[in-house]
Structure 1
Amino acid sequence: MISLQEFNQDGLLQSVAVAIFSAGLWLLMRGRKKIPGATLDQVPGPPVSSWWKGHQAQMNNLKDGWSFHQMLAENYGPVVKLQTVFRKNVFYTFDPKAMNHILLKEMNSFPPLRIETADVFLGKGLLGTVGDVHRRQRKMLNPVFSIAHMRS
């Protein structure tokens, strides 16, 4: 039979092992983000006021949000590196050519999260698909929503 003292020592050893493993994983992930000479690290951006909210509160502020957007455009140019929750890097662009490329030309490369969740709840219908499947389904439905059909 295991004594209470042996049980506590095993639990303590497991806790210490988990703590050491977690600290090592954290250091590994932190070090992975700091690659010297990486081009995306050189994108300018404003300093972060909160480590866990990042710039999210400033971007979504109903009173002063637009002034934050204007400040970004004036001070940092057409592409800005921002941080969201828990310092996750995101890139924010005002460049019309980049927006055209992301939103129109390469839209299949960037499926929105809401489309992926709609797929789970609604199935493979018009609202739950992207790309060629969505385009095909939309073309099938276009005659139903034409002006001539709506008037009759």
Structure 2
Amino acid sequence: CYCHFTSPIRRYPDLVVHRVLKLQLAYEQLGGKDALVRMPRLIGKGRESLPRILPQICRACSDAERAADAASHATQKIKIAQYYEDRLGERYAGTVSWVSSMGLFVRLDLTQVEGLVSIKSLGNEWFEFDEDALTLTGADTGTRYELGQRVIIEVSRVNTTRGHLDFKLIH
């Protein structure tokens, strides 16, 4: 009974949905004959009618929304990096949120921001990456890092242009 889109990028999809709803309401409340009379005004006619161009409209709207989401995400990463730029050397508690052959991704408790503890910064020993278990295990010491592990990190480097945070593992 109710349809609402909040983002400015969704205004055109909102318009399309309302056109379809108005046509359906016309059929239900006025009957098929009167709805047919109103149909060209509601959804167009011929080659440019809504049913004919709807696949292209949907594709274009989806593409535009994906582009807007990507831009929004990139902007947020840059603003977060700017926030942490003045906090180099500060320590924070967090949780290992992902493990890869590159190192550990840590999500900070305070801001829910993620940064990378590079495998190079873990020390001079060789770390074996287990892709199935998502763990890094030190060949010499047996030190193991895994998802969900609680850690203390230090902000070691910030790249505001790319929106990247690099962390150094403290504990």
Q: Is this a same-fold pair by TM over 0.5?
A: no
Q: Compare relative contact order (CA 8 Å, sep 6+) and give the higher one, 1 or 2.
A: 2
Name the TM-score, length of structure 2 as normaliser: 0.29
Query: Greater helix share, 1 or 2?
Result: 1
